[in-house]
Amino acid sequence: MTEKDIFVDYLKQQGLKFTKQREEILNFFLKEEKHLSPEEMFDILRKKRLPLKIGRATVYRTLKLLSECGLAEKVDFGDGLNRKVITLFEHKFAHPHHDHLICLSCGKSFEFSNPEIEKLQENVARGHQFKVAYHRLKIYGYCKKCQSTKK
Amino acid sequence: MTEKDIFVDYLKQQGLKFTKQREEILNFFLKEEKHLSPEEMFDILRKKRLPLKIGRATVYRTLKLLSECGLAEKVDFGDGLNRKVITLFEHKFAHPHHDHLICLSCGKSFEFSNPEIEKLQENVARGHQFKVAYHRLKIYGYCKKCQSTKK
DNA sequence: ATTGATATTGAGATTTAATCTCAATAATAA
DNA sequence: TTATTATTGAGATTAAATCTCAATATCAAT
């Protein structure tokens, strides 16, 4: 069951069509290892001068579909203070859940997962009779590199 | 040391002026117990038909100042998925740090704090040689009320 | 392969929160 | 009172994301 199969199946199941644009965007997303924003993806796909044109709206629409079928995950890497929105898409297929350390200096993010924290979150929610759907934990600060270079 | 003192002192220390608009916005912010967005505050302050006009930019600018001096805290209550930005300002003066449970149905938020989680976060950061500035933990789901009414 | 029903597309308009610009005005210290 | 300098509000601008809609592509059924 490849990522493409998952996408195609999802589309069929929803009565949607597997178009050239959607395939192109899927492939591009899959082979990029860096986290990219929709705007960056749009720019790059445009510069490629493919035989087919890909519009901004199609990029956004397709990323939404990829998220719906579990291949991608939208993550906001803004610093939570300045309303600078930094939306990036991560690979989700065969990538277990994780949270992020986000460097306020270079913007890089570092993944981590901690089952103990997750368990405590469950306890907190239970105490409030709150039914958890998902969570986001972001730790902002300065990465190792930026601590040393920042004289 | 009242909130007003803190604000006035901060302004003086920064070489800024304590204006009627800033005083009005401070007072309004302090007496509101509900979390309000800058736009809501702007609308309400406008409807008040005060002897002085208050512009949108002044509301935003003043909220930034209140955050800088530790009286307010900007929190993004968007669901982290749909890029609906919901920026609200909380009281921070004499309000200890806390995180949030956010209801995806009614939008209400519930505060909690958990020292154990915080401690584990410190451990995670230490493991990455990451210097923590602050963090945000948001647990999204459905509150007690919305679970029962949602048939 | 052809057809027909329907989903998709891209260009450009629109939305929305937030910020910026700038000339007029207000606050402060001397 | 005055001079200096910060502040103000109106409206323009920004930027990410979404929407509109006529033209087009997809795909199942023939």
Lowest mean pLDDT among B76-85, B90-99, B109-118: B76-85
Quick one: tokens of B129?
A: 């040689």
Classify residue A104 by its DSSP letter.
Answer: T
Would an 8 Å CB–CB cutoff place A113 in contact with chain B?
no
pLDDT for A90 equals 96
- Contact between A120 and B124 using a beta-carbon 8 Å cutoff: no
Of A134, A135, A142, the CB nearest to B131: A142
Q: What is the mean pLDDT of each run of 10 residues along chain A (151 residues)?
A: 96 97 97 94 89 94 96 89 82 95 93 98 98 95 88 41
**What's the pLDDT band for B79 if we cut at 50, 70, 90?**
confident
Contacts of B128 in chain A (CB under 8 A): 101, 110, 112, 143-144
Domain B1-95 in CATH 1.10.10.10? The answer is: yes
- Contact between B85 and A83 using a beta-carbon 8 Å cutoff: yes
3-state secondary structure labels for all residues of A7-68: HHHHHHHCCCCCCHHHHHHHHHHHHCCCCECHHHHHHHHHHCCCCCCCCHHHHHHHHHHHHH
pLDDT for B19 equals 97
Give the Cβ contact number of residue A68 at 10 Å: 11
- Residue of higher predicted confidence among B140 and B79: B140
- Residue of higher predicted confidence among B55 and A151: B55
Task: Residue A81: name the closest of B79, B110, B67 by CA.
Answer: B67
**Of the options 3.40.50.2000, 3.30.1490.190, 3.40.50.1000, 3.50.50.60, the CATH number for the domain spanning A97-151:** 3.30.1490.190
Nearest Cα of chain A lies from the Cα of B20 at a distance, in angstroms, of 26
pLDDT for B151 equals 41
- Contact between A141 and B134 using a beta-carbon 8 Å cutoff: yes
Q: What is the mean pLDDT of chain B?
A: 93
Q: Is the CB of B83 under 7 A from strand D?
A: yes
Is the confidence at residue B140, as pLDDT, over 80? yes
Q: Is the CB of A85 under 7 A from strand D?
A: yes
Nearest Cα of chain A lies from the Cα of B91 at a distance, in angstroms, of 15
Would an 8 Å CB–CB cutoff place B143 in contact with chain A?
yes
Domain boundaries, chain B: 1-95, 97-151
